[in-house]
Structure 1
């Protein structure tokens, strides 16, 4: 087979273009810090990197959810602790009110303090976090307690939930209905305090009221313990998400990030090959005397 000048020139131009592409790719890798700048560079690595990036985006969203859940549960826990102190004061006042030797004036003073405690419980029920009422369930824009009593619509009976991984959610604490009403459909704490106030003011049987009060104490303690258990679960899930984020970042770096030393070496090699190709090409493309004599 006869090798013509045209064939040599075409081969040189092909090698020349390939050398330029290698230089361009090495420069892109150095500039971006990525092994794969576009999917066509390496479809397998590109797909693996895309999947890892998608996973990291999901994990980042779950971590944001966990941060909000932590703030939400912390707000509930603080209010529950405040409520326990108020319940202790209620018991003290009921015990005082049960003293049959109290004068009418003293009974009025105890009843008035019970009313003040009831107002403090209203503030607890309406604990607000960034414009959202934490005890209003899904109805976070509505106060849990108002002039007509507890917010007792279906959304307010369902706690918010936070998605913390695919298919896994965490309830965000308790609702005011659960917290202030021990028995479904029964008397709530606000109605109870109104009744206790009237009984004390009129000199009625406070002993019976004290017996009813135990259900509210027990329910509050149970709900407080439940919120504490949710906080513990949340911290475990948040720790797992943090580990997933670290592992995902490491995997993405190993998959997609270029080794700078290797990239510099590849660029230097590509530039050397390119310069050599130019030297060879210059000799190939120079017309010889024989070419003119043909």
Structure 2
């Protein structure tokens, strides 16, 4: 059974091919303009989904890298303060050794005691080290100074160090708290009270050697906490380097998945334009007889 091909059928076929050619040109131009293989999910759902997942991963990595940058600043601030504190501790030892000399005059003892008080005030500044409006030794209570008129801040939040989340399920403590740093033994004497006591002992000519023995605990604790912060800085750099590598790999994967190959896109556009021009030529030959017949 033969099928009669009418002029209307030819015209409809031409219009369908014409529209398809226009769509191919539009898509090729869109890919060149945006630099993306897939402009909308309907273009290629599989590639679109893969690109969305990669972009989501890259956003997470970017946030983790910001967390790492803040953690680096936070730990650096603590490290500088800990180094300053070590210098102050050395001065305290020198003053205590000086004050242990029983031959000192009353005026000399007063001078040593006054300097111990000045060192205690410097330690208060160390405890209240501030980074962008946040107290770095106040644990989770970053808006409250670690040391004030009431003494050392030892509320539960102040005893919990901040943590930085650096990947799913992986976090890094942001250094030490003032409670850990200034109070070697839980519930024991803190460094500020010790310095008050040392000042009184020196001023009154008491047993400074006994005070020196107690001082070693504060020295050792400070050095141990300083070493711990240094180890956290090293861990952070390793984690940050891993995040940098992941970001580079993710960007490369996203580029391979979603970015347009310019040479290939230009070729597709040229081909689509040639097909479009050919379709116009065919259409002119299809439509012309009908128009001529109509004119006759």
Shared fold per TM-score greater than 0.5: yes
Q: 2: distance between equivalents of 1:155 and 1:221?
A: 24
Deviation at 1:277, TM superposition (A): 0.1
Gaps in structure 1 of 5+ consecutive residues: none
Answer yes or no: is 1:177 the counterpart of 2:179. yes
Q: Which moved more, 1:3-12 or 1:166-175?
A: 3-12
Q: 1: distance between equivalents of 2:131 and 2:251?
A: 32
TM-score (norm 1): 0.98
Deviation at 1:287, TM superposition (A): 2.6
Q: Secondary structure at the match of 1:101?
A: coil
Deviations 1:89-115 (A, max 9, x none): 000100011111111111101000000
Deviation at 1:69, TM superposition (A): 0.3
* Residues 32 and 202 (structure 1), Cα distance of their counterparts in 2 relative to 1, 3 Å cut: same
* Residues 101 and 271 (structure 1), Cα distance of their counterparts in 2 relative to 1, 3 Å cut: same
Q: Secondary structure at the match of 1:287?
A: helix
Gaps in structure 2 of 5+ consecutive residues: none
* Residues 290 and 76 (structure 1), Cα distance of their counterparts in 2 relative to 1, 3 Å cut: closer
Deviations 1:56-106 (A, max 9, x none): 000000000000000000000000000000000000100011111111111
Deviation at 1:3, TM superposition (A): 1.1
Aligned residues: 294
8 A Cα contact 2:7 2:290, kept in partner: no
Calculate the aligned-residue CA RMSD, in Å. Answer: 1.5
Q: 1: distance between equivalents of 2:64 and 2:82?
A: 26
Deviation at 1:292, TM superposition (A): 6.3
Q: 2: distance between equivalents of 1:220 and 1:74?
A: 16
* Residues 63 and 289 (structure 1), Cα distance of their counterparts in 2 relative to 1, 3 Å cut: closer
Deviations 1:245-266 (A, max 9, x none): 0000000000000011111111
Deviation at 1:290, TM superposition (A): 10
TM-score (norm 2): 0.97
Equivalent residue, structure 1, for 2:221: 219
Q: 2: distance between equivalents of 1:192 and 1:185?
A: 13
Q: 1: distance between equivalents of 2:161 and 2:52?
A: 35
Deviation at 1:291, TM superposition (A): 5.9
Q: 1: distance between equivalents of 2:231 and 2:290?
A: 89
* Residues 288 and 122 (structure 1), Cα distance of their counterparts in 2 relative to 1, 3 Å cut: closer
8 A Cα contact 2:112 2:202, kept in partner: yes
Q: 2: distance between equivalents of 1:280 and 1:205?
A: 112
Q: 1: distance between equivalents of 2:291 and 2:76?
A: 91
* Residues 215 and 290 (structure 1), Cα distance of their counterparts in 2 relative to 1, 3 Å cut: closer
